[in-house]
Structure 1
Amino acid sequence: IIMTSLDEICENVKMGREYALLGNYDTALVYYQGVLQQIQKRLQTLNHDSETRSLWQGVRQELSQEYEYVRDITTTLASFKIEGSYTAPPQRGRGFEEPTRDPDVWPPPTPAEQPQPRAPLNKRNPPRVANVRPSPNQPSERRAGVRNNVGASNQRQVEPKRPMDKVKKVGRSNSPKRQQPNENKDEKRFDPTGYDKDLVESLERDIVQRNPNVHWCDIAGLGEAKKLLEEAVILPLLMPDFFKGIRRPWKGVLMVGPPGTGKTLLAKAVATECKTTFFNVSSSTLSSKYRGESEKLVRLLFEMARFYSPSTIFIDEIDSIGSKRGSGDEHETSRRVKAELLIQMDGVEGATGGDDATKMVMVLAATNFPWDIDEALKRRLEKRIYIPLPESKDREALLKINLKEVELAEDVNLAMIAEKLEGYSGADITNVCRDASLMAMRRRIAGLKPEEIRNLSQSELHLPTTGEDFIEAMRKVSKSVSSQDLEKYEKWMNEFGAA
Structure 2
Amino acid sequence: MSEQQQQQQQRKESSLRTHINGVSLDDQRFRGIDPVLRDRVHDELMYTGTKSSWEHIVGLDQVKQHLKEIITLPILIPSLKSPSDPKCVLLFGPPGTGRNMIVQALANDIKATIFNISRKTLESGDWGCNGSTLIRAVFEVASCYSPVIVHVDDLEMIMSSGLNNEEMRRNKTELMVQLDSLKDRNEQQDDWMLVIGTTNRPQDVCSSSLKRFVQKLYVPLPESEDRYKLFQRLLPEDHELDENDAEELVKITEGYSCTELDSLCVEALMLPTPNTGVTMEHFKQALIRVRPCVNAAQLKSYEALDQQYNNYF
**Bin for the TM-score computed over the shorter chain:** 0.7 to 0.9
Asked if structure 1 preserves the Cα contact closer than 8 Å seen for 2:241 and 2:278, the reply is: no
Unpaired runs of 5+ residues, structure 1, are 1-122, 128-181, 445-459
Of residues 81, 93, 101 in structure 2, which corresponds to 1:265? 101
Of residues 476, 487, 495 in structure 1, which corresponds to 2:289? 476
Is residue 434 from structure 1 mapped to residue 266 from structure 2 by the alignment?
yes
SS of 2:174 mapped into structure 1: helix
Structure 1 pair 428–126 and aligned structure 2 pair: CA distance change class (3 A): closer
Is residue 281 from structure 1 mapped to residue 130 from structure 2 by the alignment?
no
Asked if structure 1 preserves the Cα contact closer than 8 Å seen for 2:59 and 2:226, the reply is: yes
Asked if structure 2 preserves the Cα contact closer than 8 Å seen for 1:314 and 1:365, the reply is: yes
Of residues 319, 323, 344 in structure 1, which corresponds to 2:178? 344
Is residue 254 from structure 1 mapped to residue 90 from structure 2 by the alignment?
yes
Which residue of the partner structure matches residue 164 of structure 1? none
Of residues 70, 74, 86 in structure 2, which corresponds to 1:236? 74
Which residue of the partner structure matches residue 407 of structure 1? 238
Which residue of the partner structure matches residue 114 of structure 1? none
Structure 1 pair 464–292 and aligned structure 2 pair: CA distance change class (3 A): closer
Supply the AA of the counterpart residue of 1:296: T
Aligned CA-pair RMSD: 2.8
Question: Among the aligned pairs, what percent are the same residue?
Answer: 29
Supply the AA of the counterpart residue of 2:223: E
User: How far has the Cα of 1:288 moved from its partner?
Assistant: 6.7
Is residue 381 from structure 1 mapped to residue 235 from structure 2 by the alignment?
no
Which residue of the partner structure matches residue 334 of structure 1? 168
Supply the AA of the counterpart residue of 1:281: I
Asked if structure 2 preserves the Cα contact closer than 8 Å seen for 1:233 and 1:362, the reply is: no
Which residue of the partner structure matches residue 81 of structure 1? none
The structure that has the greater radius of gyration is 1
What do the CA deviations read for 1:14-48 (whole angstroms, capped 9, x no partner)? Answer: xxxxxxxxxxxxxxxxxxxxxxxxxxxxxxxxxxx
In the superposition, the TM-score normalised over structure 2's length comes to: 0.84
Of residues 251, 254, 257 in structure 2, which corresponds to 1:422? 254
1:159-178 mapped onto 2 (5 Å cutoff): none
Which residue of the partner structure matches residue 395 of structure 1? 227
SS of 1:339 mapped into structure 2: helix
Asked if structure 2 preserves the Cα contact closer than 8 Å seen for 1:383 and 1:498, the reply is: no
User: How far has the Cα of 1:212 moved from its partner?
Assistant: 3.4
SS of 1:208 mapped into structure 2: coil
Is residue 216 from structure 1 mapped to residue 47 from structure 2 by the alignment?
no
User: How far has the Cα of 1:342 moved from its partner?
Assistant: 0.8
In the superposition, the TM-score normalised over structure 1's length comes to: 0.54
Unpaired runs of 5+ residues, structure 2, are 1-11
CA distance in 2, matches of 1:205, 1:397: 37
Structure 1 stretches of at least 4 aligned residues deviating more than 6 Å after TM superposition: none
User: How far has the Cα of 1:255 moved from its partner?
Assistant: 0.9
Structure 1 pair 241–126 and aligned structure 2 pair: CA distance change class (3 A): closer
SS of 1:279 mapped into structure 2: strand
CA distance in 1, matches of 2:214, 2:82: 17
Is residue 323 from structure 1 mapped to residue 160 from structure 2 by the alignment?
yes
Which residue of the partner structure matches residue 4 of structure 2? none
CA distance in 1, matches of 2:25, 2:165: 33
What do the CA deviations read for 1:121-162 (whole angstroms, capped 9, x no partner)? Answer: xx84989xxxxxxxxxxxxxxxxxxxxxxxxxxxxxxxxxxx
Supply the AA of the counterpart residue of 1:319: E
Asked if structure 1 preserves the Cα contact closer than 8 Å seen for 2:14 and 2:39, the reply is: no
CA distance in 1, matches of 2:35, 2:14: 15
Asked if structure 2 preserves the Cα contact closer than 8 Å seen for 1:406 and 1:465, the reply is: no
When the two structures are aligned, how many residues end up with a matched partner?
294
Structure 1 pair 488–125 and aligned structure 2 pair: CA distance change class (3 A): closer
Greater RCO (Cα-Cα under 8 Å, separation 6 or more) = 2
Asked if structure 2 preserves the Cα contact closer than 8 Å seen for 1:211 and 1:277, the reply is: no
Is residue 191 from structure 1 mapped to residue 191 from structure 2 by the alignment?
no
Asked if structure 1 preserves the Cα contact closer than 8 Å seen for 2:142 and 2:148, the reply is: yes
CA distance in 1, matches of 2:197, 2:38: 22
Structure 1 pair 187–344 and aligned structure 2 pair: CA distance change class (3 A): closer
